[in-house]
Amino acid sequence: MVSFEFSQSNDIFKNRDVLREDYTPEELVGRDEELGEYHSALQPVINNELPSNIFLYGKSGVGKTAATRFLLGRLQDAARSITELDLHAVRVNCDGLNTSYQVAVAIINRLRDPENQIPVTGYPQSKIYQYLWEELDRFGTILIILDEVDHVNDDSLLYQIPRARDNGYVESAKIGLVGISNDLSYREGLSAKVQSSLCEKEVYFPPYDAGELREVLEQRTQVAFHEDALSDEVIPMCAAYGAKDSGDARQAINLLLEAGDIARNENAPQVAGEHVEQAKRKLESDQITTGVSKLTEHARITLYALTTFAADGETPVTSPVIRERYLALCSASGIEPLSHRQMQAHLSELKMMGVITGREKNLGRGGGKKVLYGLNYDLRLIVETLEQTIDDIGVHRSVQAFVENHSET
């Protein structure tokens, strides 16, 4: 009988919490060049000059937020010892805030006392801006950090804030805007006037390479794990996987955390390479489950159709072949099928998500091209994530046979 008693186990982790998202390390490693540029863009603040507007961009997990927290912390420490400098920073994550109006309300509420908050609707935009200028003008220097700035659909605020002083909306406040985005094409989509003011100084954060990820992981390991808790191959493996996937430090740290958890659950004396492999499979499985759960019904049936070929060992297959199976599945379950073009769009979506592969094949001289589709993940994993769809539509004989063959393992 399994015992579900809890007892403290800390032989692997010294401080597991530092592997979690909300932890910011004391020092950032592997980002010297970017920190140098960012630091010099912030330098006017400490000289009590007008701050530059700064635009930080780079893919997810490359240290933009960590660098901002780190440098702002230092800047605020330095500012405290300078009497004439009244520095304040306000950070707003624009995820879920789609308009300038909503972002302006969020900034105002961040700066106001809890009992003086304003509701998210009900005022004309001009009134909201008036409140905003009043709040900002209470400070000597104020930095407004807009994380995920690309989520804001209009650029009114990005246009107005840099001009607030020139236009006389604020009298004394020196305002600096820091925009952060992981959408690499966002900058190009901005109007020329907004681009030139928001992107006065730009800092690009490239993906981490394996060497840099090793530095990040080694630094974190010293605080997170007991000495000798990791076998030698663990950090290089996590770094190599991280660099190959996307150069995302968050992913690499997550992989290390998951490997540590697996080793601890097994009561293993050390985290080993095998734990990293298992952790990778587990994270992939979580990722695909989340991805598939967000798909529409037809995208799932399209994936199910392709899965039936994979179960018969017949992949890769072309879209017309998948189409026939898709139509049969729809018809068997009384669902109105989509057009071939719409089904094709779902194949492209699945490919973009990385759930399936689509390789172009040249058909020889004058023959054009065709795309051959296959699954990008373990078949068993896909069948598991499609469980609900299979229940709803009925199991196909190929999948049935596959499940029966694998039910004991």
Ligand X SMILES: Nc1ncnc2c1ncn2[C@@H]1O[C@H](COP(=O)(O)OP(=O)(O)OP(=O)(O)O)[C@@H](O)[C@H]1O
Burial class (CB in 10 A: 0-12, 13-18, 19+), 235: buried
The correct pick among 128, 229, 249, 311 for binding ligand X (CB under 6 A) is 249
Nearest residue (CB) to ligand X, 235 versus 386: 235
Binding flag, residue 254, ligand X (CB under 6 A) = no
What does the DSSP 8-state code read for residue 407? S
* Distance of closest approach, residue 75 Cβ to ligand X, in angstroms: 17
Is 279 labeled as ligand-binding? Answer: no
In degrees and rounded to multiples of 5, residue 52 shows phi and psi of -80, 155
Nearer to ligand X, 25 or 140 (CB): 25
Which residue in 340, 341, 319, 338 sits closest to 330, CA to CA? 338
Rounded least distance, CB 203 to ligand X, Å: 11
CA distance 301 to 25: 45
Closest separation in Å from C-beta 30 to ligand X: 5
Residues 56-85 vs ligand X: string with x where CB under 6 A? --x-xxxxxxx-------------------
Residue 403 is labelled as binding a ligand: no
**Candidate ranges 10-18, 24-32, 152-160, 350-358; the one touching ligand X (CB under 6 A):** 24-32
Stretch in the footprint of ligand X (CB under 6 A) among 53-61, 194-202, 225-233, 279-287:
53-61
- The Cα–Cα gap between 370 and 347 comes to 14
Check residue 247 for interaction with ligand X (CB under 6 A). no
Q: How far apart are the first and last CA of the chain?
A: 21
Does the annotation list 264 as a binding residue?
no
243 closest CA partner among 61, 374, 111, 398: 61
- 249 near 208, Cβ under 8 Å? yes
Q: Return the ∠ at Cα 286 (arms to 285 and 288), rounded to 5°.
A: 65
CA distance 301 to 136: 53
Binding-site member from 21, 49, 154, 286 for ligand X (CB under 6 A)? 21
- Is residue 294 part of an annotated ligand binding site? no
Q: Is 214 in the site for ligand X (CB under 6 A)?
A: no
* Least gap, CB of 55 to ligand X (angstroms): 13
Residue 368 in marked binding region:
no
* Residue 328 backbone zone (phi > 0: left; psi -120 to 50: alpha; other: beta): alpha
Under the binding rule (CB under 6 A), the answer on residue 347 touching ligand X is: no
Q: For residue 180, what are its two tokens?
A: 């952060």
Regarding 235 and contact with ligand X (CB under 6 A), the answer is no
Rule CB under 6 A: say whether 28 interacts with ligand X. yes
- Closest residue to ligand X: CB criterion: 63
- Written as one letter, the residue type at 259 is A
Q: Which is nearer to ligand X, 21 or 232 (CB)?
A: 21
- Mark the segment that binds ligand X (CB under 6 A) among 20-28, 36-44, 80-88, 387-395: 20-28
Q: How many CB atoms are closer than 10 A to CB 362?
A: 9
String marking each residue 172-211 x if it binds ligand X according to CB under 6 A: ----------x-----------------------------
User: Partners of 13 in the beta sheet?
Assistant: 225
* Least gap, CB of 96 to ligand X (angstroms): 14
CA distance 147 to 112: 20
- Whole-angstrom distance, CA of residue 65 vs CA of residue 53: 16
127 assigned ligand-binding residue: no
| Identity of the residue, 206 or 269, whose beta carbon is nearer to ligand X in the bound complex | 206
- How many helices, marked H, and strands, marked E, lie in the chain? 17, 7
Q: Report the C-alpha gap between 61 and 247 in whole angstroms.
A: 8
Is 208 marked as binding a ligand? yes
Residues that bind ligand X (CB under 6 A): 21, 24-25, 28-31, 58, 60-66, 182, 216, 219, 249-250, 253
Annotated binding site for ATP: 62-66, 208, 220
